[in-house]
Amino acid sequence: MGKQKKEAVGTVGRKMTDTVMECRNLWKNYGKITAVKDVSLKIKEGEIKLIFGPSGSGKSTLIRCLAMLTTPTKGDVFLREECLTRPDVDLNKARARIGFVFQHIWLFRHLTALGNVELGLRRVLKLPKKEARKRAMQALREVKMEEWAHHYPAQLSGGQQQRVGIARALVRNPDIILLDEPTSALDPELIGEVIDTLRDLAKKGTTMLIVSHEMPFAREVANEMIFFDKGTIVETGPPELFFTNPRSERAKKFMARLIKRTKRE
């Protein structure tokens, strides 16, 4: 995957210090309600950052703004050097370089698992049929869904659907994959398989920004955790910081609750 990625995007000499995605002073208002308030963050090549925080705090809105699925009210989003918030940007082209995994999965219901993964290759990257099929199957293999390639979403379990969702996001070899609570709509017994898939991606050095509350997973793979509350970043740091001694009072309280819940489970 790592090798393929470089050749597909055609960028030479990427370093771990290269910034893949960045937002500067990002705001999103819905009428009088401010969902995202002056957020700046940066994700470098191969980095995994994890956003967590209370529900309704604007995490989903933020991650959607980064993918330009929602237009920010103010501020800039950069994908590598390109500013996506400029009016003359071809957003379809930009989105083709970003993988997105939805909380509610949102597979294309009329297409098989293979069809879901293939569509972007055929219609966005315009690959010939044979090559698209090969790459789509390869992506399904990576998420261990090869056997289910010809099943429709309605014939798959939630966990299987989400793995197809991940394959659909990674098949175009995007610069970054954004995941919006990829496991929170799943039944508890199905979360494990999706987490395993994400762990595989992490091992391959995939650049990811994940909104999630899966704390053991976060501790294992995240380079940095971002505590988000009331539309803004409250505290950032390595996972160990949050597990041992978060600085802010809010993060402390939230972590205590999360850890208690995890122990119960």
Partner 1 sequence: MEFLIKYLPQFLDGFVLTVEFTVFGALIGLALGILLAIGDLYGGRIISTIIRFYVEFFRGSPIIIQLFIFYFTIPNMLATIIDPFMVGLLVFSLNSAAYQKGYIKGAMEAVYEDQMTAGLSIGLSKVQTIVYVILPQALRLVIPAWGNEFSSLTKSTAALLVIGVKDVTAVGKSIAGLSFRYLEVYAFVAIIYLIWISVMMKITDIVYEKVKIPGIEISA
Residues engaged in binding partner 1 (CB under 8 A) = 67, 69, 92-93, 95-98, 100, 102, 104, 106-110, 119-120, 123-124, 152-155, 168-169, 172
At its nearest, how many Å lie between partner 1 and the CB of residue 236? 26
Q: Least distance in Å: CB of 127 to partner 1?
A: 13
For partner 1, the closer of residues 20 and 255 by Cβ is 20
Question: Nearest CA to 113 among 71, 192, 171?
Answer: 171
Q: Tell me whether residue 106 or residue 243 sits nearer to partner 1 (CB atom).
A: 106
Identify the residue whose tokens are 């500013």.
83
The type of residue at 1 is M
Say how far apart CA 211 and CA 184 lie, in whole Å.
10
Cβ–Cβ < 8 Å for 113, 141: no
CB of 253 to partner 1, least distance (A): 33
Q: Report the nearest approach of partner 1 to the CB of residue 173 (Å).
A: 12
Rounded CA gap, 234 and 36, in Å?
Answer: 12
Kindly state the helix (H) or strand (E) to which residue 158 belongs, with its residue range: helix 158-170
Query: Based on CB atoms, which residue is closest to partner 1, 35 or 218?
Result: 35
Tell me the closest approach of the beta carbon of residue 256 to partner 1, in angstroms: 35
Closest to partner 1 by CB, 11 vs 155, is 155
Which is nearer to partner 1, 162 or 232 (by Cβ)? 162
- Please give the helix or strand (H or E) that residue 200 lies within, else none: helix 188-203
CA distances from 109 to 152, 154, 253 (A): 7, 7, 40
